[in-house]
Chains A and B, each alone.
Chain A
Amino acid sequence: MKSSFIKLGRLFGCLLALGLASTLVRAADAAPAAAATPAAPAATPKKPEPTLEQRVADLEAYVTNSDPSGPLKDDKGKVPDGLVTATSAVAGPGHNAWMMTSAALVLFMTLPGLALFYGGLVRKKNVLSVLAQCLGCAGLVTILWWAFGYSFVFAGGDGAGPIIGDFGKYAFLKGVDSVPNGDYGYWVSQNVFSMYQMMFAIITPALIVGAIAERMKFSAIMLFIGLWMVVVYFPLAHMVWGIKGYMNGVWNADAAIKAIDFAGGTVVHMSSGWSALILCMILGPRLGFGKEKMAPHSMVLCMVGTGMLWVGWYGFNAGSAIAADGVAANAYMTTTLATAVACFAWGVIEKLHRGHASILGFCSGAVAGLVVITPACGFVNATGAIIIGLLAAAVPYIFVTFVKAKFGYDDALDTFGVHAVGGTMGALATGFLATADVNANLNTNLKDIVGKTLWIEQVKAIGVTLVLAVVGTLIIAYIVKATIGLRPTEDVERQGLDINEHGEEGYVL
């Protein structure tokens, strides 16, 4: 008892120290500004006025989701000092509204979508453990994101490289306010953008929970995820989406690998799925695996969760346009088509192969469709989405049915079979099916390779993601195993994690 109070004290100590550090960083920044102020009024140059054309062009930039500083630039491509319009450095209400809605939708995917999808699939003695793990991810990742996560992933500037962002720039969300960050969205407040991207960082480690369900200590999961975010997720998200990222083919002209990933096929699904496979193999199977019945305790909860995931995924995919524009609209359509096709096709395959079209089959198909369309949704047309939907049903079906049985790893809720396999296949399919007809941004830096050799770049990105996820997870899992241990005692596991780890029961009759 006493030692747990000391642990708690340490945790709050750490948080307090982080908060203090953030205040100091702010103070240091504020100092030079204060010193410079008195000199300013001495020489007041005449403030340039925007022309009517410039003001109209700025409003048009809002409608077309383009750069509002563009119409203000002079012959040399620079905005004259002091030239502003009413739309300079403010968010566009429509784009902002959609991104705040999208952020809430992506959070809804985890809480409670994924929690119920996974929670229904475990035995009833472990339902709360899954819910606790999803809530734990939301809290822990938010703290990391505030302290340095956003900075590592999205801070550009001189301190940023191809692998990791500039820590000092936005640490503790310093300077992340309602003014848009033009690197990622001309019309979306940076604080909204930051919160939106944080929701992705929350759901990614929560996906891993599926593979290791029912048999890992809560403390070990939280430690693993804390380290995994730093070692695997932040660098990977920066490489794929950071403005200077190593694999950001769409926006970074200097990207070494000119790959594309619209909403996270590599960053979210490949990374979590492959890490889940490695972690579940190091952890070992559940006690009684293959001998005892481990059927889902509630297909009703599972289906409810699946519906929430599907709805939330519109924020995930269409929101990844970081605007309420035509690219988002296309992503909305392709997401729907691929998901519905995969959902139905999985049911049909099951009916032909096993004789029943099951609820779990429809749910698995829907999630697989959502996963595979994720990297492609903003880059493919309706035909591409249908092809992806069919692939999403067929290939993961083979993995969860035959491959898992053959190799005998206990990927309890099929995180590997659906997310790793689906994410990898989606990243590759995007290379073949992407077309600039639905997304003109593909013409900016990738005009020469789209429809030709883009798939080779995708293969390279898949390789980098796979190596980072596998090696990172191997190291972290063994560190956690050697320090606090991965598994609860046999008694705890047999009795259930709910009453032992969380002191509660899911169902009291």
Chain B
Amino acid sequence: MKLIIAIIKPFKLDEVKEALAAAGVEGMTVTEVKGFGRQKGHTEIYRGSEYTVDFLPKVKLELAVSDDTAAKAVAAITAAAKTGKIGDGKIFVMPLEEVIRIRTDERGDTAI
């Protein structure tokens, strides 16, 4: 099992969600986050005062998938979230030790 964390541009969320559903992913957790990478921040000007805003708004997706689905899920996110411009985001994939469904106490792939 894998845990996939993806940081994407907020306006791409709907496309990514649909692409993941098509790839067989049945659940995910979404958070609004702020951060920066190579895109860096931007400046805001209020009359004479100029402020640098380092952190840009992004959306973070977290999804647990079976080993079989992982590659398809990563491909779906990459295809749907890509604009080709700097700031498209990152995908982190990591091994997942255990998954437990609280309602039934199921464990492993069946709990995903």
A361 CA / B53 CA spacing, docked (Å): 19
What residue of chain A has the Cβ atom nearest to residue B43's Cβ?
A: A354
Residues of A contacting B47 with CB < 8 Å?
360-361, 364, 400-401, 414, 417
B105 at the interface (CB under 8 A from A): no
Q: Which of A370-415 contact B (CB under 8 A)?
A: 400-402, 404-405, 414
A112 CA / B82 CA spacing, docked (Å): 46
Residues of B contacting A404 with CB < 8 Å?
48
Determine how close the nearest CB of chain B comes to the CB of A407; give it in whole angstroms: 11
A294 CA / B53 CA spacing, docked (Å): 12
Residues of B contacting A401 with CB < 8 Å?
47-48
Residues of A contacting B45 with CB < 8 Å?
354, 356, 358
Q: Which of A263-295 contact B (CB under 8 A)?
A: 293-295
What residue of chain A has the Cβ atom nearest to residue B51's Cβ?
A: A293
B49 and A294: CB pair below 8 A? yes
Cβ-neighbour of B44 out of A121, A295, A414 (below 8 A): A295
A364 CA / B51 CA spacing, docked (Å): 18
Residues of B contacting A168 with CB < 8 Å?
none
A360 and B48: CB pair below 8 A? no
Residue with the greatest number of chain A CB neighbours at <10 A, chosen from B47, B49, B51:
B47
What residue of chain A has the Cβ atom nearest to residue B53's Cβ?
A: A293
- Chain B count of residues within 8 A CB distance of the other chain: 8
Give chain A's interface residues, CB within 8 Å of chain B. Answer: 121, 293-296, 354, 356, 358, 360-361, 364, 400-402, 404-405, 414, 417
A293 CA / B41 CA spacing, docked (Å): 14
17 contacts between A and B (CB under 8 A): A121-B46, A293-B51, A294-B51, A295-B44, A295-B46, A295-B49, A296-B46, A354-B45, A356-B45, A358-B45, A360-B47, A400-B48, A401-B47, A402-B48, A404-B48, A405-B48, A417-B47
A417 CA / B47 CA spacing, docked (Å): 11
A414 CA / B49 CA spacing, docked (Å): 11
A293 CA / B51 CA spacing, docked (Å): 6
Not counting A293-B53, A295-B51, A405-B48, a sample of 14 additional A-B residue pairs whose C-beta atoms are within 8 angstroms of each other reads: A121-B46, A294-B51, A295-B46, A354-B45, A358-B45, A358-B46, A360-B47, A361-B47, A364-B47, A401-B47, A401-B48, A404-B48, A414-B47, A417-B47
A360 and B51: CB pair below 8 A? no
Determine how close the nearest CB of chain B comes to the CB of A406; give it in whole angstroms: 10
Residues of B contacting A296 with CB < 8 Å?
46
Determine how close the nearest CB of chain B comes to the CB of A168; give it in whole angstroms: 47
Determine how close the nearest CB of chain B comes to the CB of A400; give it in whole angstroms: 5
**A-contact 0/1 string along B11-48, CB 8 Å cutoff:** 00000000000000000000000000000000011111
A404 CA / B46 CA spacing, docked (Å): 13
Residues of B contacting A417 with CB < 8 Å?
47
Residues of A contacting B49 with CB < 8 Å?
294-295
Residues of B contacting A405 with CB < 8 Å?
48
Determine how close the nearest CB of chain B comes to the CB of A416; give it in whole angstroms: 12
What residue of chain B has the Cβ atom nearest to residue A412's Cβ?
A: B49
A27 CA / B57 CA spacing, docked (Å): 70
Residues of A contacting B51 with CB < 8 Å?
293-295
A65 CA / B48 CA spacing, docked (Å): 46
Residues of A contacting B44 with CB < 8 Å?
295
What residue of chain A has the Cβ atom nearest to residue B52's Cβ?
A: A293
Determine how close the nearest CB of chain B comes to the CB of A287; give it in whole angstroms: 16
**A-contact 0/1 string along B43-70, CB 8 Å cutoff:** 0111111010100000000000000000
